[in-house]
C-alpha cells in the first residue's frame, strides 16, 4: 500500500507541469515535480475515463515523463492512485481541521463547517472529486478497502455528537451508517453531473445531525446552513 501521507501533492490547484527547458532546478526538485505531475496525471485520467481504462503509459505521457520515471516512483497503477488519493485526503484533512477550528466550540457548528468545506473543495476540484468519490467503487479491492478506511477516520468526530441529548442511545453502527449514506449521496450527485455538491449541504446537515440533536433542531440548523 502506498505511503502517500508524507508526500506533498501541494494544493490541487497548483498541480501544473514543470516548465520545459533549462529550469535550474536541483535533482531533488525535479524528482518532486515529476512525482507531483504523475499524481496530477493519474487524477486527470481516472476522472476522465475511470480507473480501469487508465494505463501507466498514459499516466507517464500526461505527466510528460518517461515510463521508467513512473516505475521509479510507483510499483504499479494502484500504488500511484493510492498516493494521489492519500495526498488529497491529507490536504482535505488539514482544510477540515482549519474550518472546524474557525467554526467555534459547538460540535454541530464544526460538523457543518466540515461538510461545507469538503463540498466546496470537491466542487472546485471536480477531477479530484471523481478520483476520491467515484473511482474507489470501480477500481480494485485494495482501493475500495483503502477508501473505506479513509472514510472511517471521520467516525470519532461524528460520534462526538453522542454527548448531545439523546445521542447516547444510538446504535453502535450509527456513525458508519451515516457516513456510508453521506458518501453514497455525494457519489450519486457527482455521477449525475447535475448541480453542485454544495447544494446538498442542507440535506446532509439534516441527515447527519438529526440522530444526535433531534429532527427539529437538525432541520433548523440545516436551514441556517443553506442561508
Partner 1 sequence: MRAALLELCEERGHAGLTAAEIRRRAGISEAEFGALYEDAEDAFCTVLEAMRDEFVAAVAAAVAPQPSWRAQMRAAAYAMLEFWVADPPRARYMLVEAFSAGERASLIRDQGMEAMIALVDVGRRDPEAPASLTRATAEALAGTIYTQMQRIVIEERGPEEYRQIVPELMHTLVLPYLGPEIAAEELATEGPPPPPAGADT
Listed in sequence order, the DSSP H helices in the chain are 27-49, 56-62, 67-73, 77-103, 107-124, 126-133, 141-152, 155-159, 174-192, 201-213, 215-226
Cell of 130: 471523481
Binding mask 139-178 for partner 1 (x = CB under 8 A): xxx-xx---------------------x--xxxxxx-xxx
Question: Does 50 help bind partner 1 (rule: CB under 8 A)?
Answer: yes
What residues between 51 and 70 interact with partner 1 by CB under 8 A? 51-53
Residue 43 C-beta-side C-alpha neighbours within 13 Å: 26
Contact call for residue 201 and partner 1 (CB under 8 A) = no
How many residues belong to the site for partner 1 (CB under 8 A)? 44
Which of 35, 130 has the CB closer to partner 1?
130
Q: Which of 15, 42, 182, 225 binds partner 1 (CB under 8 A)?
A: 182
Q: Which residues, in sequence order, are CB contacts of 222 under 8 Å at separation 6+?
A: 201, 202, 203, 205, 206, 209
- Residue 216 DSSP code: H
**Is residue 41 within the footprint of partner 1 (CB under 8 A)?**
no
Distance CA(121)–CA(182), nearest Å, equals 16
Per CB under 8 A, the list member of 40, 59, 111, 183 interacting with partner 1 is 183
196 binds partner 1 (CB under 8 A): no
How far apart CA 98 and CA 145 sit, in angstroms, is: 27
Which chain residues interact with partner 1 by CB under 8 A?
A: 50-53, 134, 137-141, 143-144, 166, 169-174, 176-185, 187-188, 191, 200, 203-204, 206-207, 210-211, 214-215, 219, 222-223
Amino acid at each position: 500500500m502506498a505511503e502517500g501521507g508524507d508526500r506533498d501533492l501541494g494544493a490541487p490547484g497548483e498541480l501544473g507541469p514543470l516548465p520545459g527547458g533549462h529550469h535550474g532546478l536541483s535533482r531533488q526538485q525535479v524528482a518532486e515535480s515529476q512525482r507531483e505531475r504523475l499524481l496530477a496525471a493519474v487524477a486527470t485520467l481516472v476522472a476522465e475515463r475511470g480507473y480501469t481504462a487508465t494505463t501507466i503509459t498514459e499516466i507517464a505521457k500526461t505527466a510528460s515523463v518517461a515510463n521508467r520515471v513512473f516505475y521509479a516512483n510507483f510499483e504499479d497503477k494502484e500504488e500511484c492512485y493510492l498516493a494521489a488519493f492519500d495526498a488529497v485526503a491529507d490536504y482535505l484533512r488539514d482544510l477540515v481541521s482549519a474550518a472546524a477550528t474557525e467554526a467555534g466550540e459547538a460540535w454541530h457548528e464544526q460538523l457543518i463547517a466540515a461538510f461545507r468545506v469538503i463540498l466546496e473543495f470537491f466542487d472546485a476540484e471536480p477531477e479530484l472529486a471523481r478520483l476520491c468519490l467515484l473511482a474507489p467503487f470501480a477500481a480494485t479491492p485494495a482501493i475500495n478497502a483503502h477508501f473505506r478506511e479513509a472514510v472511517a477516520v471521520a467516525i470519532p468526530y461524528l460520534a462526538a455528537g453522542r454527548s448531545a441529548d439523546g445521542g447516547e442511545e444510538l446504535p453502535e453502527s450509527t456513525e458508519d451508517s451515516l457516513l456510508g449514506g453521506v458518501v453514497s449521496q455525494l457519489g450519486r450527485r457527482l455521477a449525475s453531473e447535475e448541480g453542485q455538491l454544495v447544494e446538498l449541504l442542507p440535506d446532509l446537515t439534516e441527515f447527519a445531525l438529526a440522530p444526535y440533536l433531534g429532527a427539529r433542531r437538525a432541520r433548523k440548523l440545516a436551514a441556517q446552513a443553506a442561508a
